[in-house]
Amino acid sequence: MVRATIKAEPHPLAIDLDRAALIIIDMQRDFLEPGGFGAALGNDVTLLAAAIGPCKAVLDAARARGMLVIHTREGHRPDLSDAPPLKVERGDPAMRIGARGPMGRILIRGEAGHDIIAALYPIDGEPVIDKPGKGAFYQTDLELMLRNRGIETLFVCGVTTEICVNTTVREANDRGFRCIVLSDCCASYFPQFHEIGLAMIKAQGGILGWVSDAASAAAAIYTATAKSGRAA
Ligand code: C5J
């Protein structure tokens, strides 16, 4: 057991770092780069770029410690058999899920746009969860992976704050996992939704989890690793 105290809201939190994992939600080209799903829905994708540097800082700390790092990708099978028609039928037909765009078919597994951005690309040994929904637990083997590794706490990063991050945190909370959402490692196309999304998590004594930031999480991870004398 390696105890670490994380500066967080609504209050600092002591956790066992040996039972913590980092999950990075949907940092995919389709959400962060022009020509993808986010842009097809009319969003300004540059608003998500602010999360990349902080995510990388925490990712480096987690990798240095040998912490479990899990990446997720939202997307669908090429035949769309796992995509609810309700989800596909939104927006301009030329720019819907499955339509062909500059980075291949939008939000389809195996296409360039579906992949994770270069700055945060998974390395060997880091599981990538392909999820058909907003929540990372829905129709995936994420819970099984976490239980098999004895994980209790998740550091949560990714996009978008109010959609896939928030949904995943709610799913995790109901399953008994403690979530620490790193505010600057998350982003939204709507800055006000980002703020509200974080506020909803930490309200009422942390009804869904805790909110911290990249510097606090990385510092706690590096400090504990130095003290315990263990790095991967
Ligand atoms: C959205 C996501 N916003 N990853 N997906 O459609 O948040």
Q: Is the model's pLDDT at 101 over the cut of 80?
A: yes
pLDDT tens digit sequence for 119-135: 999 999 999 999 999 99
Of 24, 37, 74, best ligand 1 pocket probe by most atoms within 8 Å of the beta carbon: 74
- How far is it, in rounded angstroms, from Cα 59 to Cα 222? 12
Q: Is the model's pLDDT at 40 over the cut of 80?
A: yes
**Atom number, ligand 1, closest to the C-alpha of residue 163:** 7
Longest dimension (CA), the chain: 56
What is the pLDDT confidence band of residue 228, given thresholds at 50, 70 and 90?
Answer: confident
Residue 163 Cβ contacting ligand 1 at under 6 Å: yes
Residue 164 Cβ contacting ligand 1 at under 6 Å: yes
Q: Is the model's pLDDT at 232 over the cut of 60?
A: no
Determine which one of 18, 55, 134, 164 is catalytic.
164
CA of 56 to the centre of ligand 1 (A): 20
Residues 6 or more apart whose Cβ sits within 8 Å of residue 22: 58, 59, 62, 67, 68, 69, 70, 154, 155, 157
Q: Is the model's pLDDT at 229 over the cut of 80?
A: no
Question: Is 26 a residue of the active site?
Answer: yes
What is the pLDDT confidence band of residue 207, given thresholds at 50, 70 and 90?
Answer: very high
Contact 161, 194 (CB under 8 A): yes
**Residue 230: per-residue pLDDT:** 55
Nearest residue by C-alpha to atom 6 in ligand 1: 163
Structural domains of the chain sorted by starting position, each given as residue range(s) with its CATH number in brackets: 3-209+219-226 (3.40.50.850)
Q: Is the model's pLDDT at 22 over the cut of 90?
A: yes
**Residue 148: per-residue pLDDT:** 98
**Residue 231: per-residue pLDDT:** 52
Residues found in the chain: 232
